[in-house]
Chains A and B, each alone.
Chain A
Amino acid sequence: MPALRDIQDLFREGLLGEPSSALVDLVEGNGLDPQARLAVYRHHVFTTLTGSLESTFPVVCRLVDPRFFAYAADAFIRQHPPIGPCLDEYGSAFPEFLADFDACRPLPYLPDVARLEWAIHRACQAPVCEPLDPARLGSVAPSDIAQLRFLPRAGLVYVASPWPVDAIWRAHGDASQAMPDLGSGSVRLEISPSTEGVLIRSLDPGSYALRVALSRGKTLEEAVSTASALDLERAIRSFLDDRIFSHFTITTAEGA
């Protein structure tokens, strides 16, 4: 009698690829080809995962047409089946997959649109936590300011692209907006959850570099060194006003 684990391995291979004769032989026909019975399960797995990807990447789906999207999703699911039980967490590898998917080469901006959609999706799921009150920084000694580190609020993501992906995203999410000029230049975007929905901010290169470095745990001094041509005082005031961080610590003294 086959062991349960062996059956489950055969089933996985049969769902993501073609069912082996060893698997087919385990299934009662009872008036129907065992392969047709196995196909019911495969169909459900692929249609629900494709539907999940469509709802996470609706603009990518519109840009390529739903039939092509289903074709790409089919290949993605076989290569990257979910690794956790929560469907909301499925699809993080889809932008990179599209970047390597030959059939998508005529649309070079597509992976970056997918990155933006994944960031929006994660921001939608994230809790809207209390932002850092800038007044709390008043207690920091001037000598410690360079060593400040900031903890980003949940769901904060940065996306940079040589394509105007925010305008592409808006144009395909709202029929009243025209498709942007693809040559209109690069964008640096900050995506964050808020009580009014997901915010997408377009940042100048200096502010983008500063905020990315801070969100990755660099000290203020280290982050400033990555951001050239920056009005520092204005940039710091701006990220505090935008309330993108929830806490701060100081590396050389006690944390706050």
Chain B
Amino acid sequence: MDGPACATLEAVRRDYPVSLHGVGLSLGTAGPLDRRHLERLRQLADRIEPCLVSEHLSWSTVGGAYLNHLLPLPYTAETLGVVAEHVEEVQEALGRRVLIENPSSYLRFRHSSIGEPQFLAELARRTGCGLVCDVNNIYVSAWNVGLDAEAYLDALPAGAVGEIHLAGHAVNDADGRTILIDDHGSRVTSPVWALYRKALERFGAVPTLIEWDADIPELEVLLGEARTADDFLAWATRRDEHARAA
């Protein structure tokens, strides 16, 4: 916590608001949360005073091993109970509301009895948590496991969405079938921008993050992606203002 990485983050924080986005809490693990990790997160949040704190609807640790990935959950009543309990524990430890993000999916469990957006909606209702709507993840999951992306957006509770994520994805071949990989390594694709516009129509002008953390390009390319998102957000803001005025 006192190393050079934290010092860099503090330097950034002096000039910009920061949104803390976690990947290591493993909210979906059947078992206790890693209290040491949660305490480190609490200390970091106390120090950085982020505007938002978010985590994923996924799991990564079991039996003492951390599989560094956002692994898939079966959407059942049991899982809902586990994740809700962990989200409440995190919110209590941090003394604030957290946002939970929809993961990118490459498989679905046969015994899942709840749809993913319905699961997130019920999680938000039970715990009071907010949601991160990762539009690229919806697009990727819809392709990979056969979902209706627009119906997914419609099923999310609009008032709970506090942040939107966008990213590029890779197009891979798996046994002769195309599978989309959420690799954060390229420009946001046109269909994802189109879905983003629909997300803004539904959720309003929500703070938006471009995720690009593999094969990082020249800064100008990143700034170009951010400007495109800003243009959409400006459109959504005008739309919101018209709606309020009407």
Contact = CB atoms under 8 A, between A and B. Distances in A.
Contact of B69 (A8, A37, A41): A41
A223 B41 CA distance: 39
11 contacts: A2-B111, A4-B78, A32-B179, A34-B107, A37-B174, A41-B69, A41-B71, A85-B37, A127-B2, A128-B4, A129-B2
Given A32-B179, A44-B69, A129-B2, 8 more contacts: A4-B30, A4-B78, A26-B109, A28-B107, A36-B174, A82-B68, A85-B61, A124-B4
Given A1-B111, A5-B31, A30-B108, A83 B174 contact: no
A12 B30 contact: no
B234 interface: no
Contact of B3 (A27, A41, A48, A127): A127
B68 A45 contact: yes
A37 B26 contact: no
Interface of A: 1-5, 7-9, 11-12, 15-16, 25-28, 30-34, 36-41, 44-45, 48-49, 52, 81-87, 124-129, 154
Minimum-distance CB pairs A-B, first 5? A85-B24, A127-B2, A5-B30, A37-B107, A4-B30
Interface in B1-35: 2-5, 23-26, 28-31, 34
B30 A8 contact: yes
B3 A126 contact: yes
A28 B109 contact: yes
Contacts of A11: 62, 67, 71
B175 A33 contact: yes
A52 B2 CA distance: 21
Query: What interface size band does chain B fall in?
Result: 35 or more
Nearest to A48: B68
B203 to A, nearest CB: 29
Contacts of A124: 4
A26 B66 contact: no
B74 A28 contact: no
B107 A27 contact: yes
Contact of A30 (B29, B65, B146): B146
Nearest to B105: A37
B174 A9 contact: no
Interface of B: 2-5, 23-26, 28-31, 34, 37, 59-69, 71-74, 76, 78-79, 82, 106-111, 145-146, 174-175, 177, 179, 181
Contact of A32 (B23, B29, B177): B177
Contacts of A128: 4
Contacts of B71: 8, 11, 41
A81 B174 contact: no
A84 B82 CA distance: 20
B24 A16 contact: no
A40 B181 contact: yes
Nearest to A39: B174
Contacts of B37: 84-86
A37 B108 CA distance: 9
A11 B28 CA distance: 13
Contacts of A41: 69, 71-72, 106-107
B74 A7 contact: yes
Contact of B64 (A1, A7, A83, A87): A83
A25 B110 CA distance: 8
Contacts of B28: 4
A124 to B, nearest CB: 7
A243 B41 CA distance: 32
Contact of B59 (A8, A16, A33, A154): A8
Nearest to A12: B62
A85 B174 contact: no
Nearest to B108: A28
Contacts of B110: 25-28
